[in-house]
């Protein structure tokens, strides 16, 4: 179980330590902590400055000390093929970390290798999250949650 400070600390470790390229599909209900984790990973990789939610713009790119961070929110996507308009085929360069919220909207277009990180509330309304890490293909190792 992770509270928000522990989730953020883990995210910063991922951003600092994980090998590139890295594709992370962040799964969970509204309020599960997907955006919190995505921002922490980006901060750990060296992103500074504001990081607005990509809910309305759908995609933001950030230059970081360790490559490029791409943060995508597919919540408003209605069909998997809509991801092509976001430059989906260009994602995953050698130094990229791609963070996708609501990845289920991309359906079969999710690439491998990747990690699915599933965040679930322990008790509705609590601030504790259960975290599951599911590899698809052979993604680079991630530091485990504390």
pLDDT of 86 > 90? The answer is no
In this prediction, residue 91 carries a pLDDT of 84
Stretch 65-78: mean pLDDT: 90
Task: Considering only residues 89 and 6, tell me which one the structure prediction assigns the higher pLDDT.
Answer: 6
Show the tokens assigned to 91. 């994602």
- The pLDDT assigned to 124 comes to 67
The per-residue pLDDT for 123 is 65
Give the residue, 98 or 145, on which the prediction is more confident: 98
The pLDDT value given to residue 125: 66
**What is the per-residue pLDDT across 21-71, written as a single tens digit (0 to 9) for each?**
999 999 999 888 999 999 999 999 999 988 877 766 788 899 998 789 999
């Amino acid at each position: 179980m992770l509270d928000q400070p522990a989730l953020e600390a883990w995210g910063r470790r991922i951003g600092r330590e994980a090998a590139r390229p890295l594709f992370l599909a962040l799964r969970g209900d509204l309020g599960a902590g997907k955006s919190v984790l995505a921002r922490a990973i980006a901060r750990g990789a060296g992103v500074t400055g504001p990081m607005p939610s990509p809910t309305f713009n759908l995609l933001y790119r950030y230059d970081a000390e360790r490559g490029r961070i791409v943060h995508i929110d597919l919540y408003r996507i209605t069909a998997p093929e809509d991801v092509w308009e976001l430059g989906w085929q260009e994602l995953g360069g050698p130094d990229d970390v791609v963070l996708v919220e609501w990845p289920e909207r991309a359906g079969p277009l999710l690439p491998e290798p990747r990690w699915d990180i599933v965040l679930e509330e322990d008790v509705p309304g609590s601030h504790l999250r259960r975290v599951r890490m599911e590899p698809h293909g052979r993604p680079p190792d991630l530091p485990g949650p504390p």
